[in-house]
Amino acid sequence: MTLVSLSGYLLFIAFIAYLVGTLLFGGAVKGSKNEASASNKRWGKAGITVTIIGFIAHLGYFITRWMASGHAPVSNMFEFTTAFGMMLVGASILFYFLYKSSAIGLFALPIAVIILGYAAMFPKDIQPLIPALQSYWLTIHVITAAIGESILAISAVAGLIYLLKNVDLTKRSKGRTWLEVVMYTLILVVGFIVVSAGFGASGYEAKFTYVDKNDKPAEIVYHNPPLFGMNQYELQTEGAMEPLAEMPPIINAKTLTTFVWSIITGTIIYLLIRLITRKRVAALLQPLAKKANLQLMDEIGYRSVLIGFPVFSLGALVFAMIWAHEAWSRFWGWDPKEVWALITWLFYAAYLHLRLSRGWEGRKSAWLAVIGFAIIMFNLVAVNLVIAGLHSYA
Amino acid sequence: MSSIKCECGHVNPEGTDICQNCGRPLSAEEKEKRLADMRYDGAAIRSMTHKRSIVDKVWNFFSSVKIGVSIIIAILVAAAIGTFLPQVFYVPAANEAQAAQYYEEHYGTFGKIYNALGLSDLYGSWWFMALVGLLGISLVVVSLDRGIPLYKSLKNQRTARHPSFMKRQRLFGEGKVADPDAVMAKAKEKLKEERYRIKEEDGAILAEKGRWSRWGPYVNHAGLIIFLLGVMLRALPGFYVDESMWIREGETLAVKGAPGLFIENKGFSYEVYSKDNAKEVFGEAIDRVGTVASKYQTDVALYKQPENALPGSTEKEYVKDYSIVVNKPLKYEGYSIFQMDFKLDELKSMTFALENKETEKPVGELTIDLANPEKEYDLGNGSKVRILDYYPDFSGFEDGEPQSATPIPNNPAFLFKMFTPEKPEGETSFVAIRQTLEPLGENEYRMAFQNADTRNVSGLTIRKDKTIPIISLGGLIFLLGVAQSSYFNHRRFWIRRTEDGKLLVAGHTNKNWVALKRELDKAAEYAGLPKYSDQRDPEEAIDANTEGDSKA
């Protein structure tokens, strides 16, 4: 067995372990209040054990892939996102041992599963490093930044649990609407995974020639039925669908097509859930959060920002500046990825000031934590794929 | 300035919430609260004591956390808007008109408006810099406003606090114990073991640790202020050099922005990964992506003018050879020279043959150095070629005149005058790539293109940034300050014996209450202190049956 295939198997084991771990943690918070909490503790212990096994397998994936390629596996979208998923699980293990809360594991693991699924939709082959990335700062900067982001993400997990328990879902309110929007967004990511995996499995391909924004001829291959065509496209594959509309040159119609397919699929899944269960998705998840202790969730949310903020500052700003100084000749250049790291940093700085000086605790704090995670995800997804910049390596 | 006198006789400045001597609540607001407001330990911050003059008003404006957070949010939103479209410095445009055209062509009406509003140079705009400046002022003011009173308050804090102070702490317990003095002694012993510093005053104990973590916010603010000052210094001449230059293979040029330094380009190389030179595991990716660059390298020799050189002398002293690659700039005397760009196969020279059009018999050959063409080339036997005009980057005719778009030999064209024994008065010919014109009538001779030589060009960037040490220092202090306030906690316990033989226990921390409770539990168990409770939000009190019983 080669290192590469071994690393693939280990990642798969981790993925399965996280799914199983979610179920076990589910067992730990289920059951009525009067039931002996000893049983809940057993479920919780089983949950954390399986999670740790998954995490070790995940770490194994990371190390074997590193050995195979000779560089830290954080150099493209698949690798970074997979590593981020791993660190998110690592952070949730850390907080399990700090606060013995099964709820964090129960909600963090499915998010990690979705992140891994998302990562798997990008090219998985091991790529050699382009000159700009040939530096030990790749390892130091990216790994530290990802650890910081994953610890910050725990505050969003705690915040989500807080909101699921705290927001009254029986009455119409802004909180209820926005919570449902969060759920819908998560399902859209699932929609993306379903679409990509589905059309990928069917081997769909449609090849086009088009004219790019510099007026040069180019080629592109779609892996799902092209809803939108590139600028002055010409279909090359026989029998494939003709795009419904042509896009101007600055819009990547392929990305837009995938995006729209994801929204369609995600919305269908969401509507099916609503139709079948006759409940809001938040209401479906609420029983799982009912047992959580609000004060503890608030404390975890705050503590994870406290632990994560310095790590994020170090990795995503300071190390980033040192590397940028070596590679691009300036420590700061207003590249979109840099700017969004700064935005993330400013946002959490605002979080801390609002909490410390203006008493924004509990629900307000929880909403801020969820928004913070959305900013981190925006920087990972949209800035890499939509906004062009020096960091667009995927 | 007015003041408030506490029941205990201590005189506190106006705006004090909690008596700095005994801890009784002073302000009406504070008396209303069930739990003491322990921010700044109840001390009066400057903005609460000075409210009269204009200076005070400005000070109070900037000392407001609400204002500070608003500035942060404003910067955040502005920064985000700046990422909607590429900023002007990432756009291939030499001037404002070209930039305007670029935005309109590529991004339509939105791009036009974006550029017209100045959002395409948002980070360099006066208002963005002003926002950052406001943040800097806010950082200074807020730190002084709160840091100093907090420091004084904690430095002068008393050991014995009034029962009303202790009862209003989040962790509080009271009860009768058999032998209060023995219990207090044992509690003291245990807390010492937990590395608390103990202060005693008749019948009262104050155990404290980690006070220094309270200075963390002020340390990190100081770091940020130093960082911003460093960035501001770059505007001063001499602190900051940022130049870029093109240098062809074989050329030796003065380094732009670095007087007295010269650099020779000994060769540029561009390499790509291929299945032969890369690891086997990369094969699949190389097949999928096609060309992946593996290296951009300029081999250079660095020279410098000797220190005692006469002005204008071209004397050079060899310094060193270096291979500049991405991520490994050449560093010398505070200057860094980076590999930033390249052009492959720029035309270096062209060789033509002067020949008779009919017989195609060559008279002679000449090679023109495109960077430095000679005026006249003598081919011997009475034949010569004169270059009347040279258009390195021929872009067409305007009013019948040939034009050159740039001085770079991308598309060279020449106006030749050919002299031969048959035509001693000379024949004129305009020669461009794949194009020959004879503007003054039919010629007998022509310039026939033979071959061309090419060379690569390296794009280098030269930087010198004297502010880096200041900026690094600021960053380091910031990180230390953040770690100080995030990873360490200020914890205090007050234990007091009352006249009726009861013991009061109170605990406070600035964060991580779980750990504080754990330490109090240890001391309470060991010494037999009265049972305490967490008085915060009783409706959210920890339910014994819910998970996460915070025994971690």
* pLDDT tens digits, one per residue of B59-91: 888 888 889 999 999 999 999 999 888 888 888
| Among B59, B36, B52, B54, CA closest to B153 | B36
Q: What is the DSSP string of B363-427?
A: EEEEEEETTS--SEEEEETTEEEEEEEEETBEEEEETTEEEESSSS-SB-EEEEEEE-SS-TT-E
Distance, in Å, from the CA atom of A21 to the CA atom of A110, rounded to the nearest integer, reads 9
Of the ranges A177-186, A346-355, A378-387, B12-21, which one carries the lowest mean pLDDT score?
A378-387
Q: Search chain A and give the residue with CA nearest B481.
A: A310
Which has more pLDDT, A249 or A295? A295
Name the pLDDT band for A388 (thresholds 50, 70, 90). low
Place of tokens 């090419």: B454
**CA-atom Rg of chain B in angstroms:** 39
Name the pLDDT band for A269 (thresholds 50, 70, 90). very high
Of the ranges A18-27, A228-237, B430-439, B539-548, which one carries the lowest mean pLDDT score?
B539-548
Q: How many CA atoms lie within 13 A of A294 on its CB side?
A: 19
Q: B549 pLDDT exceeds 70?
A: no
Which has more pLDDT, A282 or B52? A282
Of B73, B281, B288, the CB nearest to A123: B288
Place of tokens 């990369």: B282
Of the ranges A25-29, B227-231, B333-337, which one carries the lowest mean pLDDT score?
A25-29
Yes or no, beta carbons of B548 and A296 under 8 Å apart = yes
| Buried/exposed code over A302-323 (b: 16+ C-beta within 10 A; e: otherwise) | bbbbbbbbbbbbbbbbbbbbbb
Yes or no, beta carbons of A329 and B68 under 8 Å apart = no
Residues 280-299 of A with CB under 8 A from B: 291-296, 299
Q: B50 pLDDT exceeds 80?
A: no
Of B278, B475, B537, the CB nearest to A318: B475
Mean of the pLDDT values across residues B356-377? 86
User: Which token pair is A291?
Assistant: 């047992």
Mean of the pLDDT values across residues B324-351? 89
Q: A273 pLDDT exceeds 90?
A: yes
DSSP for residue A280: -
Residues 323-382 of A with CB under 8 A from B: 325-331, 334, 336, 339-340, 342-343, 346-347, 349-350, 353-354, 356-358
Best A29, A64, A71, A357 member to test B by mutation, with max B CBs in 10 Å, is: A357
Of A37, A302, A329, the CB nearest to B338: A329
Residues of B in contact with A102 (CB under 8 A): 547-548
Q: B541 pLDDT exceeds 60?
A: no
Distance, in Å, from the CA atom of A312 to the CA atom of A315, rounded to the nearest integer, reads 5
Of A130, A306, A309, the CB nearest to B293: A130
Distance from CA of A151 to the nearest CA of B (A): 13
Residues of A in contact with B293 (CB under 8 A): 130-131
pLDDT in tens, B148-193: 888 888 888 888 888 888 888 889 988 888 888 888 888 888 899 8
Yes or no, beta carbons of A100 and B549 under 8 Å apart = yes
Of A128, A328, A354, the CB nearest to B273: A128
Name the pLDDT band for B447 (thresholds 50, 70, 90). confident
Q: What is the pTM of this model?
A: 0.87
| Among B395, B392, B385, CA closest to B416 | B385
Q: What is the ipTM of this complex?
A: 0.88
Of the ranges B5-19, B131-145, B207-221, which one carries the lowest mean pLDDT score?
B5-19
pLDDT of residue B291: 82
